[in-house]
Structure 1
Amino acid sequence: MIEDALRYQTQGDDWVKRVALGGVVLFFGFLIVPLFTFQGYMLEVMRRVLRGETDTPPAWDELDLTDITVDGIRHTVVVMGYGLLLTLALAVPGLLVIGGGLGGSEGLLLVGFLVAALLYLIGVLAMAVILPVATGNFVRADSIAAGFDRDVLSSVGTSRTMLMAVVMAFAVNVIVSVGATILGFTIVGYLAVPFLAFVGQSAIMYVWGRGFADAYEEEYGEPPLAPTTATGGTHGSGPATTGTTPSVDEPIGDSDTDQPSWSDDTDESGFGTSAWDDAGDGDSGRRR
């Protein structure tokens, strides 16, 4: 899966343009808003993967930049929520450290540092598992509240499939980080880092998406998102469809055939009858 993830953004004839635009968006991240746009694009990557559409990454020109930017902001709320929980968890040992420092108690100070370090380690490991699941469920339900769904977090987050995906995503992050470090030794290489980061983050979202989709289907017996029936179904537009379905009022079959009409006759029971009830097979009420 790692190889597929790293190659994900190199698919398609216009992959150079797609990666170039992604790198430019990230390059201007110091303006803050492009960071939300970048994150929104990554959420669209995950959305495609959850649908099983892994052959072609989303093209920038087929996305609504406003929609994906808002999506990125909404996802940031989810991330900040978990960050707040981690901060509150570290508040207790922090108070011990402050109390030990003010009271001159070296023992209390040491205990505070040890507890804080332990909680921080546990918190980081927990976030490494929780955030991919929370992100996947946020994308699945398109809801901030879904990012805090305890049932999904506990069932999918403890799945061996999802845990393996977390480990593989970490491996991808290490590979990309090493590559970025090497590029950073030269000015030209440093300028290429945003483009590598775009490919790397897409790979991480690919792995998260595959892991969440497989784990969710194992737990709930259905895929998190149904695939679209045609290209072009993007976030907010709903599933794309092919062709049209005749409406109830459209005649079916030969247009010259006389269609029966409703009548006001009543039968012995007092219920209305119509020409539809005269069908030869006796299956009244079913339109033929």
Structure 2
Amino acid sequence: MLEVMRRALNGETDTPPAWDELDLVDITVDGVRHTVVVLGYGLLLTLVLAIPGAMIIGGGLGGSEGLLVAGVLVIALLYFAGVIAMTVILPVATGSFLRADSIAAGFDRDVLTSVGTNRTMLMAVVMAFAVNIIVSIGSTLLGITLIGYFAVPFLAFIGQSAIMYVWGCGFADAYEEEYGEPPLATATSGTHTGRATTGTVSGVDDQMGDNDVNNSGWSDDTDDDGFGTSAWDDAGDSDSGGR
């Protein structure tokens, strides 16, 4: 599944990945690492809900039943809000994880806030949610019959692949809108480092071939006497690189 999204990030959307092209060890390791990212957000959501939930229920037990019911409703509302947040966060976190091939990148706050609030990415999340509903309905209908029951895993596999494809395309488009280039163009083994830059570094005398880009009068001295060879010297003087 992750390979489907990775190829979508790379713009390879013409053909799905073939099983004989995949390394079982690599995709297993990727799956385990991605699980760490998912569990990290799951643990965070649990803590966010558990702390206020325990306080509300604890206060309600010592008071009226009405207060306890109100506390349960508040917890349910927080849980619903958390599920919606995870629906948006997980696709972005997965895309960031695949972009940099790093668990830490899955928790990159800069990418989460910029891409996660991008309209294109939000539309992709909605589309993926719609695909999930369609697959769920189809699985329910197929499960009515014995033959259809055995087809449910295949439908689930196709549906999950479609969801990852939608996530990947949405993340790639949203990332390019936010950062001005495809997601894999600036991939590093870590968190997001911003847009890639080209050319020379400002304020530094960079060498271009055998000349200094900021001073054409300086060049690599290669006189016959051997003085100054591979050393930078003023080509306009008469010392031929002598020291």
Q: TM-score, normalised by structure 2?
A: 0.76
Q: Is 1:145–2:145 an aligned residue pair?
A: no
Is the contact made by 1:93 and 1:115 (CA closer than 8 Å) also made in structure 2? Answer: no
Aligned to 2:156: 197
In the alignment of these two chains, the number of paired residues is 194
Q: Is 1:120–2:84 an aligned residue pair?
A: no
Is the contact made by 1:96 and 1:111 (CA closer than 8 Å) also made in structure 2? Answer: no
Aligned to 2:119: 160
Aligned to 2:229: 272
Q: Is 1:72–2:31 an aligned residue pair?
A: yes
Is the contact made by 2:175 and 2:183 (CA closer than 8 Å) also made in structure 1? Answer: yes
Aligned to 1:281: none
Using the TM superposition, give the Cα deviation of residue 106 of structure 1 relative to its aligned residue in structure 2, in angstroms: 1.9
The aligned amino acid for 1:125 is: I
Using the TM superposition, give the Cα deviation of residue 118 of structure 1 relative to its aligned residue in structure 2, in angstroms: 1.5
Is the contact made by 2:60 and 2:71 (CA closer than 8 Å) also made in structure 1? Answer: no
Is the contact made by 1:93 and 1:112 (CA closer than 8 Å) also made in structure 2? Answer: no
Partner SS state of residue 129, structure 1: helix
Aligned to 1:81: 40
The aligned amino acid for 1:271 is: G
Using the TM superposition, give the Cα deviation of residue 105 of structure 1 relative to its aligned residue in structure 2, in angstroms: 3.1
Using the TM superposition, give the Cα deviation of residue 93 of structure 1 relative to its aligned residue in structure 2, in angstroms: 3.4
Partner SS state of residue 225, structure 1: helix
* Structure 2 unmatched runs, 5+: 186-221, 231-243
For residues 50 and 170 of structure 2, the distance between their equivalents in structure 1, rounded to whole angstroms, comes to: 33
Q: Which of residues 223, 228, 234 in structure 1 aligns to 2:182?
A: 223
For residues 47 and 225 of structure 1, the distance between their equivalents in structure 2, rounded to whole angstroms, comes to: 9
Aligned to 2:170: 211
Is the contact made by 1:100 and 1:107 (CA closer than 8 Å) also made in structure 2? Answer: no
Q: Which of residues 136, 148, 162 in structure 2 aligns to 1:177?
A: 136
For residues 76 and 187 of structure 1, the distance between their equivalents in structure 2, rounded to whole angstroms, comes to: 32
Aligned to 1:229: none
Is the contact made by 2:223 and 2:229 (CA closer than 8 Å) also made in structure 1? Answer: yes
- The C-alpha deviation readout for 1:176-220, integer Å capped at 9, x for no partner, is 111111100011101111101111000000100000000000000
Identity of counterpart residues, as a percentage? Answer: 80
For residues 175 and 186 of structure 1, the distance between their equivalents in structure 2, rounded to whole angstroms, comes to: 18
For residues 219 and 94 of structure 1, the distance between their equivalents in structure 2, rounded to whole angstroms, comes to: 37
Using the TM superposition, give the Cα deviation of residue 145 of structure 1 relative to its aligned residue in structure 2, in angstroms: 0.5
For residues 178 and 167 of structure 2, the distance between their equivalents in structure 1, rounded to whole angstroms, comes to: 16
For residues 100 and 155 of structure 1, the distance between their equivalents in structure 2, rounded to whole angstroms, comes to: 38
Using the TM superposition, give the Cα deviation of residue 56 of structure 1 relative to its aligned residue in structure 2, in angstroms: 1.2
Q: Is 1:136–2:95 an aligned residue pair?
A: yes
For residues 69 and 225 of structure 2, the distance between their equivalents in structure 1, rounded to whole angstroms, comes to: 90
Q: Which of residues 59, 62, 67 in structure 2 aligns to 1:108?
A: 67
For residues 172 and 208 of structure 1, the distance between their equivalents in structure 2, rounded to whole angstroms, comes to: 11
For residues 111 and 105 of structure 1, the distance between their equivalents in structure 2, rounded to whole angstroms, comes to: 10
Is the contact made by 1:99 and 1:108 (CA closer than 8 Å) also made in structure 2? Answer: no
Aligned to 2:213: none
Higher strand share: 2
Q: Which of residues 123, 139, 146 in structure 2 aligns to 1:187?
A: 146
The aligned amino acid for 2:137 is: V
* Structure 1 unmatched runs, 5+: 1-41, 227-262, 274-288
For residues 141 and 85 of structure 1, the distance between their equivalents in structure 2, rounded to whole angstroms, comes to: 22
- The C-alpha deviation readout for 1:81-130, integer Å capped at 9, x for no partner, is 11011101111332135414642532431232122111111101100100
Q: TM-score, normalised by structure 1?
A: 0.64
For residues 95 and 191 of structure 1, the distance between their equivalents in structure 2, rounded to whole angstroms, comes to: 43
